[in-house]
Structure 1
């Protein structure tokens, strides 16, 4: 690969990292705490490319003999395509396809085998805002059944399997590659079945006690009292 091509690749890849790190789209791939790594890596790559370009220009101006490297051509420039794809069209966050490909895995599965757990009481109020992770883990592990007879509000995206409509979120350990889904089956509102997959919704309702079992990968059912479409959140993962 020619040195000029290497420098262009460094500039574009570093610029792509800076772009997604500064405009917030890095949240589609890594946790918020990783922003400084994305921005820092992009800055270093751009700086290295600039230093290399300046060095080459100085050598050329001084009359240094050029070294002709072989093996460049169309195949070399093809390496720019994935970089340009990241720079121009940032891939979206994972969605329903990733949930359906997880073979029923859930964040609640591994822990339930160790027995129940104690959770803090839910805050007072007619409607309790709650994350899907908290809702699903309480449904699977909470021996005190703190969700029973409480109305909750959650946000997620629509997912479907062969028999039901669900709402889901992906829980990220460090990056999108290790994301694990949490799912809630939506019952009682026909509007859920009419929504396209991957559309984001805010749902209010009550748990159906005893519906989160090992057989269904600890996917609780929610009797929906209200449902409304919402924009995708800035942080799509929990």
Structure 2
């Protein structure tokens, strides 16, 4: 009986975990708080597989229980083993709580807390100095990571005098002032990298608030050198809601 109970818990966990994966990837966009959009088909396939495995396991457990389960000839040993398994199964059932939490609680994406405790991780892109021409749009919408790369490494200073539009969340500087920040992921939230732009000319919104800013790049050093700082002289600040995909 103890073995059957353990298998039952395992089957329930597999079904619940698979259903949770399907819930966040197939019926909502919560998965974007964990992984990139391109991984959605793999999440759906994983969720379906987990549910199927759990259902097959559950059918096997029910079949064994219907046939009378497994018996131990040593009744004293069986009784002790049953008590141990029963206590272990109660603990195992607690493992369902985190899975159920996915259905009941929508987790927040990484944000200001992470960005405030990380350094600017903008790295020199491959072929830096040979950036493609920028569109003539005014203001020019840019990803925060792209703005950082251009500000730090574009030796042609193509941002000079251009009005750009950036979207991100506010995070305070340790020595006063604030950054506009955004997190970039290659695969999942665990590998998130932080892009930051120092904002000057407007007061800081509350930490974590999402805003859209129009402004002009203010170089603090010659482009193409690590001493150049990504700074934006803000002309306009507008509050906005968190994007469906919070990562770049």
Per-residue Cα deviation, 1:176-213 (whole angstroms, up to 9, x for no partner): 011000001111122xx2x2111111110000023587
2:178 corresponds in structure 1 to 165
- In structure 1, distance between residues paired with 2:137 and 2:95: 56
1:183 corresponds in structure 2 to 196
Contact (CA 8 Å) 1:15, 1:87: kept in 2 or not?
A: no
- Number of equivalences: 229
2:76 corresponds in structure 1 to none
Q: 1:184 to 1:83 in 2, by over 3 A?
A: same
Q: CA deviation at 1:137?
A: 0.4
- In structure 2, distance between residues paired with 1:164 and 1:53: 58
2:38 corresponds in structure 1 to 33
- In structure 2, distance between residues paired with 1:66 and 1:146: 78
Contact (CA 8 Å) 1:182, 1:219: kept in 2 or not?
A: no
Q: CA deviation at 1:66?
A: 6.1
Matched, 1:208 2:212: no
Contact (CA 8 Å) 1:13, 1:87: kept in 2 or not?
A: no
Gaps of 5+ in 2: 73-81
Contact (CA 8 Å) 1:183, 1:220: kept in 2 or not?
A: yes
- In structure 2, distance between residues paired with 1:97 and 1:232: 15
Q: 1:93 to 1:66 in 2, by over 3 A?
A: farther
Q: CA deviation at 1:115?
A: 8.6
SS at match of 1:204: strand
- In structure 2, distance between residues paired with 1:219 and 1:83: 43
Contact (CA 8 Å) 1:206, 1:223: kept in 2 or not?
A: yes
Contact (CA 8 Å) 1:157, 1:197: kept in 2 or not?
A: yes
Q: CA deviation at 1:219?
A: 4.4
User: Over the residues paired in the alignment, what is the CA RMSD in angstroms?
Assistant: 2.2
Gaps of 5+ in 1: none
- In structure 2, distance between residues paired with 1:157 and 1:92: 13
- In structure 2, distance between residues paired with 1:145 and 1:178: 30
Given the two structures, how large is their TM-score scaled by the length of structure 2? 0.84
In structure 2, which of residues 3, 7, 26 is the aligned counterpart of residue 3 of structure 1?
Answer: 7
1:227 corresponds in structure 2 to 237
Q: CA deviation at 1:15?
A: 1.0
Q: CA deviation at 1:85?
A: 2.0
Contact (CA 8 Å) 2:219, 2:229: kept in 1 or not?
A: no
